[in-house]
Structure 1
Amino acid sequence: MAQVSGYPPIIILKDDVDASQGIGQIISNINACEQVVDVLRSTLGPRGMDKLIQGGDGKVTISNDGATILRVLQIVHPAARLLADIAKSQDEEVGDGTTSVVLLAGELLRQAKSFLEDGVHPRVIMSAYRKAYQLIAERLRRIAVDVAPQLSVLMSSERASEADTEAARSILRRCAGTALNSKLIAQYREFFAAIAVDAVLALDADLDLDLIGVKKVNGGSVSDSSLVPGVGFKKTFSYAGFEQQPKKIHRPKILLLNLELELKSEKENAEVRVQSAAAYQQIVDAEWNIIYEKLEKIVATGARVVLSRLAIGDLATQYFADREIFCAGRVPDADLQRVARAVGARVQTTVHDMRIEDALGTCEWFEERQVGAERFNFFTGCKEAKSATILLRGGSEQFLDETERSLHDAIMIVRRTLKYPQLVAGGGAVEMELSKYLREHSRRIQGKAQLLIAAYAKALETIPRTLCENAGFDTTDLMNKLRAKHATSEENQWVGANLETGEPHDCWENYIWEPALIRSNAFAAATEAACTILSVDETLKTETGERDAGAGLVPGHGTGGRHRA
Structure 2
Amino acid sequence: MSFGGQTPTIIVLKEGTDQSQGRGQIVSNINACLAVQATIRSTLGPYGGDLLLVDANGKQTITNDGATVMRLLDIVHPAARILTDIARSQDAEVGDGTTSVVVIAGEILKEVKEYVEQGVSSQVIMKGLRRACTMAVNKVKEIAVNPTEKDKKKTLQKLAATAMSSKLIHRNSDFFTKMVVDAVLSLDQQDLNEKLIGIKKITGGALQDSLFVDGVAFKKTFSYAGFEQQPKSFKNPKIVCLNVELELKSEKDNAEVRIDQVSEYQAIVDAEWQIIFDKMEALHKTGAKVVLSKLPIGDLATQYFADRDIFCAGRVSSDDMERVVQATGASIQSTCSDIQSEHLGTCERFEERQIGGERFNFFEGCPEAKTCTLVLRGGAEQFIAEVERSLHDAIMIVKRAIKNQTIVAGGGACEMEISKYLHSFADKNVPHKQQAIIKAFAKALEVIPRQLCDNAGFDATDMLNRLRVEHRNGNIWAGIDFVHETVANNYERFVWEPALVKINAIQAATEAACLILGVDETIKNQESEQPQAPRRGLPPGAAQRALRGRGRGMARR
1:499 and 2:500 correspond: no
Q: Distance between the aligned counterparts of 1:133 and 1:271, measured in 2?
A: 69
The 3-state SS of whatever aligns with 1:330 is coil
Q: AA paired with 1:65?
A: D
- TM-score of the pair, normalised by structure 1: 0.90
Instruction: Give the match for residue 233 of structure 1.
Output: 218
Q: Structure 1 residues 37 and 266, CA, compared in 2 at 3 Å: closer, same or farther?
A: farther
Where do residues 135-146 of structure 1 align in structure 2 (5 Å cutoff)? 135-146=135-146
- Distance in 1, matches of 2:290 and 2:274, equals 23
* Match 2:176 to one of 184, 192, 202: 192
Q: Within 2, Cα distance between the matches of 1:97 and 1:29? A: 23
**How many residues are paired up?**
526
Deviation at 1:405, TM superposition (A): 0.5
Q: TM-score, normalised by structure 2?
A: 0.91
What amino acid sits opposite 2:180 in the alignment? A
1:86 is matched with 86
Structure 2 match to 1:530:
513
Q: 1:246 aligns with which of 215, 221, 231?
A: 231
Matches for 1:245-284 after TM superposition, within 5 Å: 245-266=230-251, 272-284=257-269
Aligned to 2:29: 29
Residues of 1 paired with 2:33 and 2:252: CA distance? 54
The 5 Å alignment of 1:47-196 reads: 47-147=47-147, 150=149, 164=150, 167-196=151-180
Answering whether residue 516 of structure 2 is matched by residue 519 of structure 1, we say: no
Amino acid at match of 2:233: K
Q: Does 1:336 align with 2:321?
A: yes
Give the SS at the match of 1:119: coil
- State how far apart, in whole Å, the 2-side matches of 1:542 and 1:297 are: 64
Partner Cα distance (2:315, 2:384) in 1: 24
Q: Deviations over 1:319-367 (max 9, x none)?
A: 1111111110111110001111222222222223x35145322222222
In 1, Cα distance between equivalents of 2:369 and 2:146: 30
Deviation of residue 379 (structure 1)? 1.4
Amino acid at match of 1:189: S
CA deviation map 1:488-537 (0-9, x unaligned): x22x1111112233321111111111101000100010000100111111
CA shift, 1:98, in A, is: 0.2
The one of 326, 341, 359 aligned to 2:343: 359
Q: Which residue of 2 aligns with 1:554?
A: none
Alpha-carbon deviation of 1:437? 0.3
Q: Check conservation: 1:258, 1:309, Cα contact below 8 A.
A: yes
Measure how far apart 1:11 and its partner are: 2.8
Would you say the 8 A contact 1:210–1:338 is kept in 2?
no
Q: Aligned partners of 1:266, 1:33: CA distance in 2, in Å?
A: 61
For 1:279 and 1:10, locate their aligned partners in 2 and report how far apart those are by CA, in whole Å. 79
Deviation at 1:288, TM superposition (A): 1.3
SS of match in other structure, 2:394? helix
1:52-98 Cα offsets, whole Å, 9 max, x none, are 11112221100000100111122121111110111111111111000
For 2:182, what is the secondary structure of its paired residue? helix
User: Secondary structure of the residue that 1:145 maps to in structure 2?
Assistant: coil
Distance 1:33 1:497 in 2: 27
Q: Secondary structure at the match of 1:366?
A: strand
Q: What's 1:20 paired with? A: 20
SS in 2 for 1:284: helix
1:438 paired residue among 412, 415, 422? 422
Deviation at 1:272, TM superposition (A): 4.2
In the alignment, the residues of structure 2 paired with residue 225 and residue 269 of structure 1 have an alpha-carbon distance, to the nearest angstrom, of: 46
Shift of 1:424: 0.5
**Shift, 1:412, TM fit:** 1.0
CA distance in 1, matches of 2:456, 2:246: 59
1:176-214 per-residue CA deviation (whole Å, 9 max, x = no partner) reads 111111001111111111111111122222222122111
Q: Matches of 1:219 and 1:267 in 2, distance apart?
A: 46
- How far residue 104 of structure 1 moved from its aligned partner, in angstroms, is 0.2
3-state secondary structure, aligned to 1:263: coil
Deviation at 1:261, TM superposition (A): 0.9
Cα distance in 2, alignment partners of residues 135 and 169 from structure 1: 32
Residue in 2 aligned with 1:560? none
Does the 8 Å CA contact 2:214/2:369 hold for their aligned counterparts? no
Preserved contact between residue 478 and residue 502 of structure 1 (Cα < 8 Å): no
Are the counterparts in 2 of residues 468 and 502 from structure 1 also a CA contact under 8 Å? no
SS state of the match for residue 146, structure 1?
coil
The 2-side partners of 1:340 and 1:514 are apart by 34
1:498 counterpart letter in structure 2: D
Q: Hey, what does 2:554 align to over in structure 1? A: none
2: CA distance between counterparts of 1:317 and 1:426? 56
Q: Deviations over 1:371-430 (max 9, x none)?
A: 222111111222234221111110110000000000111111111111100010000010
Is 1:462 paired with 2:447?
A: yes
Which residue identity lines up with residue 91 of structure 2 in the other structure? D
When structure 1 is superposed on structure 2, of 377-386 and 67-76 the one drifting more is: 377-386
Matched, 1:310 2:295: yes
Q: CA deviation digits over 1:221-271, x for unaligned, max 9? A: 101112111111111111111122121222222111112111123566975
Number of the residue aligned with 1:154:
none
The more displaced of 62-71 and 471-480 is 471-480
After TM superposition, give the deviation of residue 542 of structure 1 in Å. 3.1
Of stretches 304-313 and 375-384 in structure 1, the one that deviates more from structure 2 is 375-384
Please name the residue that 2:333 is paired with: 348
Superposition deviation, residue 273 in structure 1: 3.9
Contact 1:541–1:547 (CA under 8 A) maintained in structure 2: no
Question: SS state of the match for residue 332, structure 2?
Answer: coil
In structure 1, C-alpha distance between the alignment counterparts of 2:17 and 2:127, rounded to whole Å: 32
Return the alpha-carbon distance in structure 2 between the equivalents of residues 542 and 486 of structure 1. Answer: 51
Any stretches of 5+ residues in structure 1 without a counterpart? 151-163, 549-565
Deviates more, 1:12-21 or 1:35-44: 12-21
CA RMSD of aligned residues (A): 1.8
Q: Percent identity?
A: 56
Question: Quick one: distance in 1 between partners of 2:56 and 2:314?
Answer: 33
